[in-house]
Amino acid sequence: MALTLEEANRIIEGAMAKARELNIRVSIAVCDAGGRPVAFQRMNNAIWASAYGSQGKAVASAAFGRPSGELSERAHHPTPAGIAAAEGGHMIMGQGAVPVIRGGVVDGACGVGGGTAQEDEDCARAGVAKL
């Protein structure tokens, strides 16, 4: 089942609620299983770089079907690095994104940028939990 815009917006709302609870300003990107954008929001006064961070982490999470933070250790190994290069260099293999997995199939991912790595992941998890 493909991730819908309605579902992506629900994920974003959940992630923003967590960011407000943590008193941080973030950008949130939701992509489909192929790493293409479905929805994006940047909270007022979130740093501009968070827009790129959130999207890059979401792409990496969707590509590998796991939280982006789990990819950090192997990011420079030949296979993941080669995949990232072949994909166009959009992946960020750092903590802050989680995949959307339904019925054992990756449907997309939510990436967050702007807080600490752990805060970003906590927001992404809170968003995906809204599905």
For the chain, the domain total comes to: 1
Which tens digit of pLDDT belongs to each residue from 26-56?
999 999 999 999 999 999 999 999 999 999 9
Range(s) of the domain holding residue 112: 5-128
Q: Which residues of 38-76 are buried (b: 16+ CB within 10 A; e: fewer)?
A: bbbbbbeebeeebbebbbbbbbbbbbbebbbbebbeeee
The CATH number that applies at residue 80 is 3.30.450.150
Sequential pLDDT tens for the chain (131 residues):
799 999 999 999 999 999 999 999 999 999 999 999 999 999 999 999 999 999 999 999 999 999 999 999 988 889 888 998 998 989 999 999 999 999 999 999 999 999 999 999 999 999 999 99
Supply the pTM of this predicted model: 0.95
8 A C-beta contact, residue 91 and residue 59: yes
Contacts of 33 (CB under 8 A, 6+ apart): 2, 3, 62, 105, 106, 107, 108
